[in-house]
Chains A and B, each alone.
Chain A
Amino acid sequence: MKEAMIRIENLAKKYKQIEALKGVSLQVGRGELFAYLGPNGSGKTTTIKILTGLAVPSSGDAWLHGFHIDRESLQAKRQCGLVPQNINLDHELTVRENLDLHGKLFQMPKKERKARISELMEYVDIADRRDSPVKQLSGGMRRRVMIARALMHSPKILFLDEPTAGLDPAIRRRIWSLVKQIQQGGATIFLTTHYIEEAEFLAERVAFLDEGAIVALDTPRKLMDGMGGWALDRIVSGSMETSYFRDREEANRHIDQQEGSFSVRRVNLEDVFISVTGKKVLE
């Protein structure tokens, strides 16, 4: 692996009696797009909250670009940008004012803030709405403003917590293109999602998180190849059963020996998740 931009060792978080994270360890390399995939409540957001200073870990350590998140918190925070799950913009302020305040929080000089705002407005394609109050923007536009704001101080690491949750498919794809562009610009991206196709399309490596623990971690291709490559879904006594095959021909041969309704498709990360945890990501 290239230089580790994110290093997590045995990170754990307990909320009273609930163990939200159970000793997670992982590393994300420079320029990598890493996806954290898991159902709601699996600990994805908790991990991001700890890494970005919003929550305190119960135990364990983490470093962002070599800076410890607790002992060197200010330097660690300078390394990263955060796009949280909730739209947390100032709704009464304009797009420009939101970005400008972010720049001030990150100690950017006025001239630099002004230039960066113009650049980012073009980048996320929202320049014509720069002086609109956020409350007048659509959900997709707000999400793009959030991404622009997180990029204001040119972070080396970008945390995206469910960046496309609740958006329609067209806007989701637009955000995906933007995320890819950001990665091509050299940023390391840590993305949480419960959308299978999002992780498959974007990520170079994926960690499956279930009940606060990583249950699998590899490239999407390797994870899916481990299942055989092709899946055959069939309805048996009212419930879906899936079998896995090395290639399509093998799956087709299997169909010839059976009766009923079938569908053959490529294996996806959902299949891997089900095989590892026994449940669906969206359960």
Chain B
Amino acid sequence: MSGMLAIYLRELLILRKRFFRQLASMSVGPLLYLIAFGLGMGRDVRIGSHSYLEFLIPGLVAMNSMIQSFAIASEINIARFYWHIFEEFQAAPLRNIAYVTGEVLAGITRALFSTAIILFIAFVSGITLSYNLYFWLAVVLNSFVFASLAVGLAMLVKSHSDQALLTNFFITPMAFLGGTFFPVDRMPEWVREVLHFLPLTHASKAIRAAAFGEPPELFPYILLGALGVVLFVLAYHWVNRARE
């Protein structure tokens, strides 16, 4: 427990030291999307009974919680390949489970922080949605999936550039295709089928439904929870791969 807390608190301390930089970096993406897609392109667009801006906010929450929880991989890589701080963890009497839990919790915390920023921007823009328990549960499960994936992959990669490749090929396409900016249901059937393999599609759906106050569907929650557990277990096993 103490080891897990040490890992988690270290990430929080670093987040605190970089608070204003992080705040700016977490705000700039959602703000640009809101301005470009929400206020620009989507001003007169309606999706069902909602304005495009109302549609976009939950999508941005899903996308940003994915990006920010996955960003823990970059922090781990910097600690591993640049500052070599990872060696300090490897030499400590720390169980793999404690290490992975600490880093995954840090990833989820980053995601919740970025979600709070988006909700603040939404509030300032006059958008009010329902931020109920199901909304937050979906955000946490989405972050759990991508933070676990991030920790696992961070243990497997051999360099910074490998990490950048993974982000470019998996996370960035998912950000655009996982139901953030458009309703997946309006896509041709074969595209829909493909997009249903993306966890973000289900996270967007669950977060959006909760934000619109609709009754929750169980399936996205079960899927995200199960996938998160599988990725967490893989991350736990892959910690040993980081040893030379």
Contact = CB atoms under 8 A, between A and B. Distances in A.
B17 A93 contact: yes
B88 A88 contact: yes
A109 B13 CA distance: 19
Interface in B1-45: 2-3, 5-6, 9-10, 13-14, 17-18
B242 to A, nearest CB: 9
A236 to B, nearest CB: 45
Contacts of A93: 10, 13-14, 17
Interface string B69-98: 000000000000001110111111111000
Q: How large is the interface on B (under 10, 10 to 19, 20 to 34, 35 or more residues)?
A: 20 to 34
Of A84, A88, A93, A97, chain B has the most CB atoms within 10 Å of the CB of: A88
A105 B13 contact: no
Interface residues of A, number: 30
A88 B93 contact: no
Interface string A99-133: 00110111100000000000000000000000000
Contacts of A242: none
B91 A52 contact: yes
B244 interface: yes
A90 B10 contact: yes
B94 A88 contact: no
A216 interface: no
A14 to B, nearest CB: 11
A106 B6 CA distance: 9
Contacts of B243: 53-56
A54 B94 contact: no
Contacts of A49: 244
Judged by DSSP, the binding face of B is helix
A54 B91 contact: yes
A92 B18 contact: yes
Contacts of A104: 2-3, 5-6, 9
A89 B85 contact: yes
B10 A101 contact: yes
Nearest to B240: A56
Interface string A64-88: 0000000001110110101010111
B83 to A, nearest CB: 6
Contact of A54 (B2, B3, B17, B87): B87
A114 to B, nearest CB: 15
Given A56-B243, A93-B13, A106 B90 contact: no
10 contacts: A49-B244, A52-B91, A53-B91, A56-B243, A74-B95, A84-B87, A87-B84, A90-B10, A101-B9, A105-B3
Interface of B: 2-3, 5-6, 9-10, 13-14, 17-18, 83-85, 87-95, 240, 243-244
Interface of A: 15, 49, 52-56, 73-75, 77-78, 80, 82, 84, 86-93, 97, 101-102, 104-107
Given A75-B93, A77-B92, 10 more contacts: A52-B90, A53-B243, A56-B240, A82-B87, A82-B91, A86-B84, A92-B17, A93-B14, A105-B2, A106-B92
